[in-house]
Amino acid sequence: MSATDAVTVSIDVDVEPELAFAVFTRELDTWWGRGPRYRFLAPYQGTLVLEPGIGGRLLHVADAAAGRVFVVGAVEVWEPPHRRALTWRLPNFAPDQATRVSVSFEPAGDGTRVSVTHSGWDALPDRHPARHGLTGHDFVMMRGHWWGDVLTAAKRHAERSRHPSPTGGNAP
């Protein structure tokens, strides 16, 4: 495995692992970004659904009525509230191409360290469209920042629901 096959992105969230795990399951759609940067099928709205349990799918339901649904991947590991792993494909992947996303939820102080490892990028050729022209370190950092933005959104959502401010605003 090369240095750039996988990227791990970690963030400390000020909620207990059980809640952190739930934020990444039933509450996924409330905080996961919208638009072409975060959703899979045009018009990049719709709903993101993770079916819990082994074999459950991560779905982007872009338009249920029109049957526009993209299957991102399927759950391979499901150990609430400690970890889960799923296969991960983008719409521009060939049928035999897949990566893997593993998420761990470890107690850290009074909260939880959430770590996402996205691996399997070595299997994609350098000219694959998912690389956006980037290879090696630059590609890993691009993916890493993307997951960093995803995790930051998750953290904000989790901490807001755990520690709601009396005025409804967000504490700094």
Partner 1 sequence: MSPQTSPLPDAPDTVIPYLIIKNAAQAIDFYKQAFGARETFARITDSLGRVGHAELRIGGSMIMLADEHPEIGAVSPHTIGGSPISFVLNVPDVDASVKHATAAGGTLSRPLENKFYGHRSGEITDPFGYRWTLSTKVEELSDDEVLRRAAEEERKRQT
Pick the closer one to partner 1 by CB: 9 or 19.
9
The span from the CA of 109 to the CA of 37, in Å, is 32
Pick the closer one to partner 1 by CB: 18 or 122.
122
**Which residue reads 């993916």 in tokens?**
143
Q: How many chain residues interact with partner 1 (CB under 8 A)?
A: 23
The span from the CA of 82 to the CA of 107, in Å, is 9
The span from the CA of 122 to the CA of 139, in Å, is 11
The site string for partner 1 over 105-144 (x = CB under 8 A, - otherwise) reads --------------x----------------xx--xx--x
Minimum distance from CB of 115 to partner 1 (Å)? 9
**Which residue reads 């049928």 in tokens?**
95
How many CB atoms sit inside 10 A of residue 85's CB?
A: 18
The span from the CA of 113 to the CA of 111, in Å, is 7
Pick the closer one to partner 1 by CB: 66 or 110.
110
Residues 1-60 that bind partner 1 (CB under 8 A): 1-12
Pick the closer one to partner 1 by CB: 152 or 161.
152
Task: Let me know how long the chain is.
Answer: 172
Q: Residues in the site for partner 1, rule: CB under 8 A? A: 1-12, 119, 136-137, 140-141, 144-145, 147-148, 151-152
